[in-house]
Amino acid sequence: MSQHRPEAPQGAWARFRSENMDLIRLGGMAVLIFAVMAALRPSLFLSSNNFVSMGFQFPEFAILTLAMMISMLTGGIDLSIIGNMNLSAILAGMVLASMTADPTNPVGLPIALAVVIALAVGTAGGLVNGLLVAHVGIPPILATLGTSQVFLGLAIVLTGGASVHGFPTAFSFIGNGKILGLPVPVLVFAALAIVVAVVLNKSAFGAKVYLLGANPLASRFAGLKNSGLLIGAYTLAGFLSGAAGILIMSRTNSIRADFGASYLLLTILVAVLGGVNPYGGFGKVFGVILAVLALQFLSSGFNMLRFSNFAREFIWGALLLVVMVMGTIRFPWRKRQVKKRDSSGLG
């Protein structure tokens, strides 16, 4: 027995490394980007103001990325998350602004009602996506592209293209406040990320979603209701879109139909970069978190280096293509991962 004890830790580490090589590489990339940007602009990048600023910026598209991840796990995609987010926030903002127009009225109930409305509208939008994909049979990319335009059109009709503003000061705490020195948006994202991770990794629903994305035919033969799983996944993505809408309208103290237009590409990029399989069946919340941090470090560095928006869009698109190409190359560790997932039936 004693002769085998030294080999156990090595075997455990080898197993961990082979199963989490993508996460290890992604963590290393995040550290490398941080180090490079810190070296280029140490006085700015390493300042406390920059870290606080990043803490208020990334939770919005990070929550949207969780929504994108969930839809991609099913083998689909949700292109309506931005439109759903804005429509949810606009409806909530209109109610909040009208109920708090009189300064003598209490603001607690209107704020709570606005939050409920945003989450309810986002969830309803996700439910519509799920029904179109699961029961009508429209391909996800077309169904969500169509609903994104419907959500955008409704938002423009409701506002006339103008912004909704005039929210009470107390509401801005959600997007700009701090608790124990930590930005509230970071805490909201952390809570939602934990919930999504538990749902995907510890619940029967999550296991079924992974199986559905990996092999829809096997999922059907296993007696699972694929349509119900699709509806549940897109509904959850809609709920997260509504949550992102609350953050963005609180942080900016306004909301407009075209807010967050650049987030759609970023959510797809971050999800794929974080190890989510675009064809479904594989992806981890922790990988998405690492990818979010890497992209936020890169974005903050670009701002300090004064990169133009056009250059950034080019870099994001090129990086997405590179990640997709790299994902198709079967490195030795990737072969072991794919073989292990295929044998388990989970992607």
**What's the one-letter identity of residue 193?**
A
263: tokens are 């987030």
Report CA-CA distances (Å) from 142 to 18, 77, 85, 137, 146: 37, 9, 18, 10, 6
Q: Domain limits of the chain?
A: 59-344
Residue 179: strand, helix, or coil: strand
Pick 213 or 20 by higher pLDDT. 213
pLDDT tens sequence across 34-70: 898 888 888 888 888 888 888 888 899 899 999 999 9
Supply the DSSP symbol for 166. Answer: -
pLDDT tens sequence across 121-148: 999 999 999 999 999 999 999 999 999 9
Rounded to an integer, what is the distance from CA 47 to the centroid of its chain? 27
Mind giving me the DSSP string for 253-279? TEE-TTTTTTHHHHHHHHHHHTT--TT
Pick 27 or 193 by higher pLDDT. 193
Task: Compute the distance between CA of residue 324 and CA of residue 339 in angstroms, rounded to an integer.
Answer: 20
What predicted TM-score, i.e. pTM, was given to this entire model?
Answer: 0.85
- For residue 103, pLDDT over 90 is answered with no
Q: Determine what percent of the chain is predicted with pLDDT higher than 90.
A: 45
Exposed (0-12), middle (13-18) or buried (19+): which is 181, by Cβ within 10 Å? exposed
Task: Compute the distance between CA of residue 66 and CA of residue 314 in angstroms, rounded to an integer.
Answer: 24
Buried b (16+ CB within 10 A) or exposed e, 145-179: bbbbeebbebbbebbeeebbeebbeebbebbbeee
81: Cβ contacts below 8 Å, ≥ 6 apart: 64, 67, 68, 237, 240, 241, 244, 263, 264, 267
Task: Compute the distance between CA of residue 67 and CA of residue 87 in angstroms, rounded to an integer.
Answer: 16
129: Cβ contacts below 8 Å, ≥ 6 apart: 78, 80, 140, 143, 144, 147, 234, 237, 238
| pLDDT at site 10 | 52
